[in-house]
C-alpha cells in the first residue's frame, strides 16, 4: 500500500543560468590575470635585484680599482718625494762653565769670557728629489718643566721664511739655536741639569714643499737625557755611579714634538 504525504514534492537540481557562467568566467579570468601579474612582478623584482647586485659589484670593482690606482700612485710619490729630517750635529755635548756670576774676576781675562751654549743641528733631505724650504724654527731652552708636563703643542714662536731655499737629496743645511732664556749656563745651572732639577730641550719645525707641489712638515724634538745611575759599595762607602753618558734623545716628549707629513 503506498502512502503519499500531502504538500511534499521533490525539487529538480538547480542549474546555472548563462549570466552566472559569464560572471564566473570573468572572475576566473581576473584571478588568472592577477596571478600572472604577481608572477611577472616577482620575475621583474628578481631581475632588478640581479641587476642591482651586478651594478653594486661593478661599482665596488671600479672603486677598488680606483683605490688601488691611488695607492700605487701615492707609493710612487712617496718613493720619489723629498723627506726632510733634522738631527743634532753633536749628540752628547759637554758643558764647560768658566765661572759663576758671583765669582771674583780672575787675573786671566780668558776666564771672564762668556761661553755661549748652542744647539747645532743639520737639515738633511733623505729623499730622492729636491725640497723647497718654506719656513722653519728651532728653539733651545733650559727649564724646570719636566717632559711629562710640557704642553701638548710646541711653542715655536715666529717661523722664519725661507724663500727660494732648496734642500737637495743628501744635502746638509746647518741650523743653530742659542740657549734661552740666557745664552750660557753657570756651574750651578749645569749641576741642576745633571741632577735632573732642570732640563734642556731642543725642538723645531721645517715646512717644505716637494716637486709635486705638496706641502709637508717635519717636527723634531730632543731632550738632553742624563745617564742612568746606580748605587755601588766601594771601600765600605756607597757611591753613585753613572752608566753611559748624557745624550740628546727624541723620545720622552709629547707626540706633537716629533712627526712627518
Read off the pLDDT of residues 11-45 as tens digits, 9 standing for 90 and up: 444 555 666 666 656 666 666 667 777 777 778 87
Whether residue 230 is predicted with pLDDT greater than 90 in this model: the reply is no
130 φ/ψ angles, rounded to the nearest 5 degrees: -65, 155
DSSP code string of 104-159: PPPSSGGGTSPPPPEEEEEEEE-SSS-EEEEEEEEEEEEES--GGGS-SS----SP
d(CA 228, CA 241): 8
**What is the C-alpha to C-alpha distance for residues 117 and 222, in angstroms, rounded to an integer?**
16
Higher pLDDT, 100 or 133: 133
Q: Which helix (H) or strand (E) holds 63?
A: helix 18-80
Tens-digit pLDDT profile for residues 69-121:
666 555 655 678 999 999 999 999 888 765 666 666 655 544 445 567 899 99
> CB neighbours (10 Å) of residue 147?
15
How far is 247 from 250, CA to CA, in rounded Å? 10
Task: Give the pairing type, strands 259-260 and 215-225.
Answer: antiparallel
What is the structure's pLDDT at 2?
Answer: 41
Rounded to whole angstroms, the Cα distance separating 69 from 261 reads 21
- Kindly report, residue by residue over 136-193, the tens digit of the pLDDT: 999 999 999 999 899 889 999 999 987 778 999 999 999 999 999 988 888 888 889 9
Cα 195 from Cα 197, distance rounded (Å): 5
Q: What pLDDT does 150 receive?
A: 92
CB 208 within 8 A of CB 167: yes
Amino acid at each position: 500500500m503506498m502512502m503519499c504525504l500531502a504538500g511534499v514534492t521533490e525539487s529538480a537540481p538547480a542549474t546555472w543560468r548563462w549570466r552566472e557562467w559569464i560572471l564566473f568566467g570573468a572572475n576566473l579570468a581576473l584571478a588568472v590575470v592577477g596571478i600572472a601579474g604577481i608572477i611577472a612582478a616577482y620575475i621583474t623584482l628578481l631581475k632588478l635585484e640581479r641587476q642591482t647586485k651586478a651594478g653594486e659589484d661593478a661599482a665596488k670593482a671600479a672603486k677598488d680599482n680606483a683605490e688601488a690606482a691611488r695607492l700605487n700612485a701615492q707609493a710612487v710619490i712617496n718613493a720619489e718625494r723629498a723627506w726632510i729630517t733634522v738631527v743634532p750635529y753633536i749628540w752628547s755635548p759637554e758643558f764647560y762653565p768658566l765661572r759663576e756670576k758671583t765669582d771674583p774676576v780672575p787675573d786671566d781675562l780668558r776666564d771672564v769670557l762668556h761661553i755661549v751654549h748652542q744647539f747645532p743641528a743639520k737639515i738633511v733631505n733623505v729623499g730622492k728629489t729636491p725640497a723647497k724650504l718654506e719656513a722653519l724654527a728651532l728653539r733651545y731652552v733650559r727649564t724646570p718643566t719636566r717632559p711629562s708636563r710640557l704642553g701638548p703643542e710646541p711653542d715655536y714662536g715666529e717661523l722664519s721664511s725661507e724663500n727660494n731655499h732648496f734642500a737637495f737629496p743628501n744635502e746638509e743645511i746647518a741650523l743653530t739655536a742659542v740657549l734661552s732664556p740666557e745664552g750660557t749656563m753657570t756651574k750651578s745651572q749645569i749641576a741642576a741639569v745633571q741632577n735632573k732639577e732642570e732640563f734642556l730641550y731642543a725642538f723645531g719645525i721645517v715646512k717644505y714643499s716637494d716637486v709635486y707641489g705638496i706641502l709637508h712638515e717635519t717636527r723634531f724634538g730632543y731632550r738632553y737625557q742624563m745617564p742612568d745611575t746606580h748605587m755601588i759599595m766601594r771601600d765600605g762607602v756607597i757611591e753613585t755611579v753613572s752608566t753611559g753618558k748624557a745624550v740628546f734623545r727624541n723620545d720622552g716628549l709629547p707626540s706633537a714634538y716629533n712627526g712627518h707629513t
